[in-house]
Structure 1
């Protein structure tokens, strides 16, 4: 039994500059195997592309991190859509693709040379409690005075959004490397007006093994930030955000307010191939 896989560069600004994603299609392994395959790929997320169960969807996506399954994530949504279309997928409705995932149905559209998804609703919003804020300040190794505003930005991954005084301060953060328990922190800071990008984004999460990991580009957090900036009047029209700068990447996220908060980015297939799912025949016998 085999499956297909593709490695997709999502939110890139030129090949090998975005967030890599593995998309597996053509088979439906059990959940434990999906999680094991995700750990083996060792990317921030792996998506399993499946037939839809909802009549309003074009395809279904199960999204895994190294530690657990997610109901929704942004760069896997765009990467899964890219892979589905490359495999010959045709939407039920012209100009509108619908992904089914743990968070429900997510609309996706073609936006010039990019794909864009409509930001899903937040599962948790509002102010952050004092105990969580103390933990975040300690993890980020910053002073409380640097924080302009903090709020829950949970739309699947449990992001806490932390706005600092500038993009420069965001890029200067040097967090701890290890942490007990689970934490998901997103940082945002403004660039000076008139530049190529308006906002700098960084996201940090625990990997389930005690390490704090930085994600190259994170669609889910950018989706929550788009709503945050719109609601507070900090953004009133389209803008471009940068992410991955601290990792030597050039992630670019294109945000538009057009009946929804649309989160767009470029996608590119970098590699593809076949995966064997029955590895018993390949396992060397013990002498």
Structure 2
């Protein structure tokens, strides 16, 4: 039985830019082991499978696989799935809110018309933070940079659904000059309980993007993730905690994928509740670059 799929480039309006995810439709009858094989065949950072929801509060359900394993949540596949649902199902075409069921629960995705298409903004899980316990020399060796290129903020494993080791750099030029040791990243992140490392730096100029970001997850079969939604969620939570602790709201625009020719843009924001809880939202647009059928 064939299964329809599309390849959606998330966090961009241009096909062949941003971060590609395969979206497989009507995948309820696919066993998990076949889903994993399809994800390896696609060889993208993630492949997402659309299924009927098990909760009456959800519009659809997803299962998300890297080439190596299943994830409870991921950012750019959420944008890709929402974009695909809006395009495929007539009853969802004019939706202003989609409710995605996944491993972390129900993720709301707001749909906002823009001059170029539709902005899809997900609310991620409540942030968690954990000291990574890493020496600066180890982090510098992982990333292939000088220790002086590392900002003085702590190295933390931060999760808004997926745990990432978050590292800030001290100067803008350092991020494009990184020479990551993929094997060391995989070993250190596995020991730290992180899927990989997300690195960010302040641009420090008047451009539209405040940050540039890079994400490496070799332990999941992804040497560099072009534009990472969950990584940016963790960066937003990190920045809110360490750089804007007294502010109730904040946000930024980030550019990512520049170094590997997959330029994308992420809109991040956060809001503190009365009890100090932090709500992180990550948004982006998307474009379809391919469509076809799978014959598993």
Q: Normalising by the residue count of structure 1, what TM-score does the alignment of the two structures yield?
A: 0.87
- Deviation (angstroms), 1:144: 3.3
Gaps in structure 1 of 5+ consecutive residues: 278-287
Match of 1:104 in 2: 105
Output the CA distance in 2 between the equivalents of 1:80 and 1:130: 36
Gaps in structure 2 of 5+ consecutive residues: 273-278
Counting only pairs closer than 5 Å after superposition, residues 1-287 of structure 1 correspond to structure 2 as: 1-28=1-28, 29-88=30-89, 90=91, 95-111=96-112, 112=114, 113-122=118-127, 124-130=128-134, 135-148=138-151, 149=153, 150-179=155-184, 181=187, 182=190, 184-207=196-219, 213-234=223-244, 237-257=250-270, 260-277=279-296
Asked if the contact 2:95–2:111 (Cα under 8 Å) also holds between the matched residues in 1, the reply is: no
Q: Secondary structure at the match of 1:175?
A: coil
Tell me the C-alpha RMSD between the 2 structures: 2.3
Asked if the contact 2:47–2:66 (Cα under 8 Å) also holds between the matched residues in 1, the reply is: yes
Output the CA distance in 2 between the equivalents of 1:18 and 1:33: 27
Aligned length: 272
Go from structure 1 to structure 2 and tell me whether the alpha carbon gap of 1:99 and 1:145 turns closer, same or farther (over 3 Å shift): same
Output the CA distance in 2 between the equivalents of 1:69 and 1:34: 9
Asked if the contact 2:6–2:288 (Cα under 8 Å) also holds between the matched residues in 1, the reply is: yes
Q: Secondary structure at the match of 1:214?
A: strand
Q: Which whole-Å deviations, capped at 9, do the CAs of 1:223-261 have from their partners, x for residues lacking one?
A: 111122223335964421000011022110012346743
Asked if the contact 2:62–2:102 (Cα under 8 Å) also holds between the matched residues in 1, the reply is: yes
Output the CA distance in 2 between the equivalents of 1:136 and 1:42: 28
Output the CA distance in 1 between the equivalents of 2:132 and 2:182: 23
- Deviation (angstroms), 1:153: 1.5
Q: Secondary structure at the match of 1:153?
A: strand
Asked if the contact 1:217–1:244 (Cα under 8 Å) also holds between the matched residues in 2, the reply is: yes
- Deviation (angstroms), 1:118: 0.8
Asked if the contact 2:196–2:219 (Cα under 8 Å) also holds between the matched residues in 1, the reply is: no
Q: Secondary structure at the match of 2:22?
A: strand
